[in-house]
Structure 1
Amino acid sequence: MAFVLASAASVALAQQAPARRNVRDADRAAGELIDSFFDSAADGSRSMRPVKNALGGQPSKASVRPQWTARLARNPKADDGNPPYVLIDRYGGIQRYVEPTPTVNLDRYLGQTITVRRDTGHTLLASQLELPKLARPAGAVVGGGDVRLAAAEEPATPGEPTLADGAAAAEAIPAEPLPDPIPQPQSMVEGQQGPWLDAAGNPINLPEGSDPLYLDESEGPHLQGCASCGSAVCQAQGGCGLGSRPVLWVRGEYLAWWADGMDIPPLVVRGDAVTNPDPPPAQVFGNAFVVYGNQTILDGVRSGGRVRAGYWLDDYGQTAIEGEYFGFGQISEQFNDGGDGTFPIVGRPFIDATTGLNAVEDVSFPGIRGSVVVNSDSKFQSAGIGLRRNLCCASGQTCCGDPVTCGSQVGGCGAGVGGGPCATLFGKGTRHTDVYFGFRWAQLQEGLAIQENLEVIAPSTDVGTTFQVNDAFNVNNEFVGGEIGFIWDWDYRRWSLEALTKLGVGSTRQRVNISGSTTRTEPGEDPETRSGGLLAQDSNIGNYERNELSVLPQLGVTLGYKLTERLKLTGGYTFVYWSNVVRPGDQIDPEVNPGNLPFANPPDADGLPARPQFSFRQNDFWAHGLSAGLEYQW
């Protein structure tokens, strides 16, 4: 059946202009200020993305011309937060919203052909229009005073002309008709039409080549919902449907995260040189207390970066390929201690495996002087790639799809936003629910190294002999597995909100490398190096490797604000957890057989017990923190 876009004068007189809604809030004021810095003021230089997002369809190419003409009409959805007047093309498609000014009464020009002198995008001021001169009494109602959009379609009566035929309906005072085609240079440039509205005032997408003025029920758009969200012949609102999502997006972020620190056993102690009264009298290390170790290290803020990029493979935002990389630069920590043999008294603690008692290897003690240095480091990084598939796109209170893919619990529509503050907030914007499945890789590399530099002094014998003792514990965890998750996002004007939850399941390859050595240099002799330090001996030195099942979940939320039509400022929070990893401090065995130490005097005859020894000790790792960055969309 035919659609009628104009009504009789008697109907126009009976209708009243809807109450105007004040939309000049802080968001709009801040946005206009920011746009003045980022956007070019040159005519035709602005992107049309905001128009398409706001109106739910492809904008006309006429919007990029310095001057063009259209017909002035009232906004059929006065409560949608947009200005009360619109400019429409010859098919009734909305091209721009118009904000009135105190000095211009736009009601007098409803239905008239208007020239846009300077096109600045989504919303124009009345002062930006070139209004025709009216030779009629003030207050007279023009024939197009209630020009109807597709949102107010009515069946055509026999013989009644339509706007598509190039003439307005019979009225008391005839309106200036919109020529078809409009002569150059004021013409609308041929291109894609504006959005079409159904009887409820909802934008709809039409198959390419269809003429919405001559559609019957079998060939026209299905206005009762759809089973395939985003289809060209389905109902859609705002940011759903053809061209509703950017083709390509790239986001770069700075990360300030806190990560699970490394637990280490006691590594350095201080105390006193105490005389043992038992015969034979001797000085021993007494009153020991830990100055480094038995604590968590590397638990401060870590700086890093993250890059995300995605590409939609279709025009309806249904399937995309998305990739991500994030990581931190290496974080490290160093501890130093030592003395001249008299003060302070410093040593390295261990448990004597032959007696089970606490013992100390001297670093600064009568007869020896030296220093001990402990270095630790950690590095974490992760990457993923996969497919992102849209389950639902919804705007306002309308849900497209079935309760499984777009219900109250998944899609964020229906009962999920049917009442309360959620309905007030998220009912105004466009919501997407996507499923993600792909691959995830992650790596955690950490190290712990202890080095002693010692020199024998009086009253000991072998004065001048030096020792360099090294222990090193390094680990490498590498996760490879599949990942599945959900991504929910919401857009309203300049604001956006994204929440994601992902779960990676796969294998973690755990690698542990333990090494140690002692170098002795006697006066006038060449250095002699033997395997083994203090906590790394021949009994535990080596490379160890195994695979363990791990999970790697990730949670995140990101808030965005558009600085320009393509550039968005983002800020968010992310939490990452990784099960079954190995950490350096956990691989240290504090029990040592003193008789197995290099250059031990006397050495242990049978080397038993063979301690320290190695066994895999695994733990968990987590990281969380804040992010700030920019996202650019095409």
Structure 2
Amino acid sequence: MIQDALRRFAFVTCFLAVGVFHCATGALGGDRTIRRKQPDRSTYQPPVLETHHLETVTVTQADRSEQAGEQHSGLVDAPLDALPQPRRRAEPVVTEASLPDPVVLSENGATVQTVSYETSNQRHVNVDPQHQAVQTCSCESCRSGGAHVPLPPPMPHTVDASPYGFAGEVFDGGCDSQFCDGASCDGGCDAIGCGPLGRLGLSANDWFGSVELLLMFRSGDRLPALASDGTLDDTDTQIFAGRETVFKDMTAGGRLTVGAWLDDYMDRNIVARGWFAGEQTYGFNANQNTHTTLVRPFFNVTDGVVPIDDTRIIATPGEASGELSIRADSNTFGADVSIRQLWYKRQGATVDLLYGYQYMGMDQSLTIADRATALSDGVRPIGSVLATSDSFDVENDFHGGQLGVATHYREGCWSFSTLAKIGFGSIRRRAVLAGSTFTSIDGNNATDPNGILVRSTNSGTHSDNTFGWVPELDFTLGWQKYPCFDVTFGYHIIAMTDALELSGVIDPNLSVNLADPAVGAQRPTSNFRHGTFYVQGIHFGLAYIY
């Protein structure tokens, strides 16, 4: 009697310890369904217990008071998978020799319950034939009108040999996305998981990512007047190019995100992203004959002359014919790598803190080329040619660290994610300015390294470094349209402070008496201006969910 009482006491104590540990982990936020492919409200499939090759243990009749005490403690209905376990399965190396001996519980010679173990390569599901085709869905809207399938009746438990306790997920051949489209699922996924990574021999639970189309708008840049039909101080002058905001139209770009989990509990991951906003271009071309006037305007600040609006004649009736070409482009791109650590999770929501490295680049260029042919004897003989060109190339490269917060919430088939972070580090700014003038008079050709907007006072390569910030904000709404995949839509904005743009390197004030640059005003200058540049827009994509 004493030995039997001690045995019953030890049995009850073990189950009480399991129940207390389950409650403690639940109180600490052990919601292990948040990051799995299965939605929070998936259907529970109980494990299976087997009854063969087992030892027999004799159990005496328990008193009603003890049975009532056990029933009151909640041990009878406690699930076998109550112990903590990873959200991502980690298959242990188990052999039959290393497994404990099977145990049989019997009463008065009759078998009451049996417990056995099996190795990972012998896992299976004992399902009633009428329930073999049962699949679950993430939400009612995903069933596409399919009828609700009732759960099968409870079945015996097969306990999986897992180092984390009773996993209760021993199956092979099911779809772990818990997604239905109509009456059936996606046809079944292999044990590795859904998606192309499974075909490559990699675990689909180890990776996640997305591919997105970006439709972006830049903050724009305002260029000075570059072409007109007269001086700028004349109210009747028409501006052909310049004095307007450029790089303001929508462009199409893309973004690729790839991530990997760094622990079995899927609380820490590494994420790498690369993106580009597409190329934005601006252009103007004119080929004028003797019926139209075309000039390049500038502000003349030559010493000894009252500053006035002046022009360089390209074409004018009876004097010259010519052509003018203006082309500008802008490119914006970036990449970053971050470590994300789970900070909070509750009721289907997670909050990650992130840190890492960030890069962002912004390049702009402008080329202005003109060619004028004299039609009468004046400043130049008839047939003489004067051609000038100015080019500006601007580069901004940011390298630095980043800190931020990423959140994610899922409710059935819908999800909502946010990203807020700020980069801080060094911005390397570089500007390359070049000009030239070509003249041909009576067959004699000459070249001068001075254009109109780029001359000896500001030509060459100019570069510096400064401290800058790159803040970023992103919102994404996802819908689980396909198994293991979300269709996404969102908004994105990213900025760079202290950036160098084309308007900051163009000086429209010119001093034309540059025979001796050491004498008189030194214009145009290389005193560049900086400002904040940003790009924003919407994005559409497809995300492999985790």
TM-score above 0.5: yes
Q: What's the offset of the Cα at 1:447?
A: 0.6
1:91 and 1:376 mapped to 2: Cα distance? 68
| 1:288 counterpart SS class | coil
1:514 and 1:566 mapped to 2: Cα distance? 52
Q: What's the offset of the Cα at 1:117?
A: 3.9
Query: Which residue does the alignment assign to 1:375?
Result: 327
Q: What's the offset of the Cα at 1:337?
A: 2.6
* Equivalent residue for 1:435, pick from 335, 353, 358: 353
Note the 1:381-420 alignment, pairs <5 A.
381-395=333-347
Query: Which residue does the alignment assign to 1:268?
Result: 227
Contact 1:310 1:323 in 2 (8 A): yes
Query: Which residue does the alignment assign to 1:595?
Result: 513
Query: Which residue does the alignment assign to 1:539?
Result: 457
2:323 and 2:45 mapped to 1: Cα distance? 72
Q: What's the offset of the Cα at 1:248?
A: 1.1
Query: Which residue does the alignment assign to 2:295?
Result: 347
Query: Which residue does the alignment assign to 2:537?
Result: 625
Contact 2:249 2:280 in 1 (8 A): no
Q: What's the offset of the Cα at 1:523?
A: 3.7
Q: What's the offset of the Cα at 1:288?
A: 3.0
**Unaligned regions of 5+ residues in structure 2, if any?**
1-11, 17-34, 50-76, 83-126, 138-142, 169-203
Query: Which residue does the alignment assign to 1:307?
Result: 256
Query: Which residue does the alignment assign to 1:575?
Result: 493
Q: What's the offset of the Cα at 1:524?
A: 3.0
Query: Which residue does the alignment assign to 1:249?
Result: 208
Query: Which residue does the alignment assign to 2:432?
Result: 513
Q: What's the offset of the Cα at 1:49?
A: 6.1
Q: What's the offset of the Cα at 1:271?
A: 3.4
Q: What's the offset of the Cα at 1:192?
A: 7.4
| 1:54 counterpart SS class | coil
**Unaligned regions of 5+ residues in structure 1, if any?**
5-47, 63-88, 95-112, 132-143, 148-177, 181-187, 194-206, 213-244, 273-283, 396-429, 597-602
| 1:501 counterpart SS class | strand
Query: Which residue does the alignment assign to 2:313?
Result: 362
Are 2:515 and 1:564 aligned? no
CA shift digits 1:505-533 (9 cap, x unpaired): 111011011100011123433x3211011
Note the 1:218-229 alignment, pairs <5 A.
none
1:606 and 1:251 mapped to 2: Cα distance? 59
Q: What's the offset of the Cα at 1:93?
A: 6.8
Q: What's the offset of the Cα at 1:60?
A: 5.8
Contact 1:52 1:58 in 2 (8 A): no
2:502 and 2:288 mapped to 1: Cα distance? 27
Paired letter, 2:132: R
Relative to the length of structure 1, the TM-score reads: 0.57
CA shift digits 1:570-616 (9 cap, x unpaired): 110011111000001221111112223xxxxxx57965222111112
2:288 and 2:401 mapped to 1: Cα distance? 53
Query: Which residue does the alignment assign to 1:322?
Result: 271
| 1:348 counterpart SS class | strand
| 2:493 counterpart SS class | strand
Query: Which residue does the alignment assign to 1:504?
Result: 423
Query: Which residue does the alignment assign to 1:524?
Result: 443
Contact 2:81 2:165 in 1 (8 A): no
2:46 and 2:374 mapped to 1: Cα distance? 85
Runs of 4+ in 1 over 6 A off after TM superposition: 56-59, 124-131
Query: Which residue does the alignment assign to 2:136?
Result: 122
Query: Which residue does the alignment assign to 1:35?
Result: none
1:329/1:285 Cα in 2 relative to 1: closer, same or farther (>3 Å)? Answer: same
How many residues matched?
Answer: 397
Query: Which residue does the alignment assign to 1:424?
Result: none
Contact 2:81 2:166 in 1 (8 A): no
Query: Which residue does the alignment assign to 1:414?
Result: none
Paired letter, 1:349: P
Query: Which residue does the alignment assign to 2:41?
Result: 54
| Stretch deviating more after TM superposition (542-551 or 119-128) | 119-128
CA shift digits 1:306-327 (9 cap, x unpaired): 0111111112121111111111
Contact 2:37 2:545 in 1 (8 A): no
| 1:585 counterpart SS class | helix
Paired letter, 1:356: P
Note the 1:60-79 alignment, pairs <5 A.
none
Query: Which residue does the alignment assign to 1:170?
Result: none
Query: Which residue does the alignment assign to 1:71?
Result: none
Contact 1:456 1:466 in 2 (8 A): yes
1:617/1:91 Cα in 2 relative to 1: closer, same or farther (>3 Å)? Answer: closer
Contact 1:114 1:130 in 2 (8 A): no
Contact 1:465 1:522 in 2 (8 A): yes
Contact 1:114 1:129 in 2 (8 A): no
* Equivalent residue for 1:468, pick from 387, 398, 420: 387
CA shift digits 1:160-181 (9 cap, x unpaired): xxxxxxxxxxxxxxxxxx6x6x
Query: Which residue does the alignment assign to 1:209?
Result: 165
Paired letter, 1:294: R
1:246 and 1:439 mapped to 2: Cα distance? 25
1:211 and 1:563 mapped to 2: Cα distance? 29
Are 2:362 and 1:447 aligned? no
Q: What's the offset of the Cα at 1:209?
A: 3.0
1:605/1:286 Cα in 2 relative to 1: closer, same or farther (>3 Å)? Answer: farther
1:286 and 1:330 mapped to 2: Cα distance? 35
* Equivalent residue for 2:284, pick from 329, 332, 335: 335
Contact 2:218 2:249 in 1 (8 A): yes
CA shift digits 1:118-173 (9 cap, x unpaired): 32422699997899xxxxxxxxxxxx9xx8xxxxxxxxxxxxxxxxxxxxxxxxxx
| Stretch deviating more after TM superposition (585-594 or 605-614) | 605-614
CA shift digits 1:282-323 (9 cap, x unpaired): xx9994332221111111001100011111111212111111
Contact 2:43 2:136 in 1 (8 A): no
CA shift digits 1:426-448 (9 cap, x unpaired): xxxx0000001001101000011
Query: Which residue does the alignment assign to 2:240?
Result: 291
Q: What's the offset of the Cα at 1:350?
A: 0.7
1:286/1:93 Cα in 2 relative to 1: closer, same or farther (>3 Å)? Answer: closer
Paired letter, 2:276: G
Query: Which residue does the alignment assign to 1:611?
Result: 523
Contact 2:220 2:246 in 1 (8 A): yes
2:281 and 2:161 mapped to 1: Cα distance? 58
Say what the alpha-carbon RMSD is for the aligned residues. 3.5
| 2:229 counterpart SS class | strand
Paired letter, 1:302: T
2:362 and 2:508 mapped to 1: Cα distance? 24
1:484/1:589 Cα in 2 relative to 1: closer, same or farther (>3 Å)? Answer: same
Query: Which residue does the alignment assign to 2:72?
Result: none
Q: What's the offset of the Cα at 1:481?
A: 0.7
1:50 and 1:59 mapped to 2: Cα distance? 18
2:167 and 2:538 mapped to 1: Cα distance? 50
| 2:41 counterpart SS class | helix
1:495/1:523 Cα in 2 relative to 1: closer, same or farther (>3 Å)? Answer: same
1:60/1:574 Cα in 2 relative to 1: closer, same or farther (>3 Å)? Answer: farther
Relative to the length of structure 2, the TM-score reads: 0.66
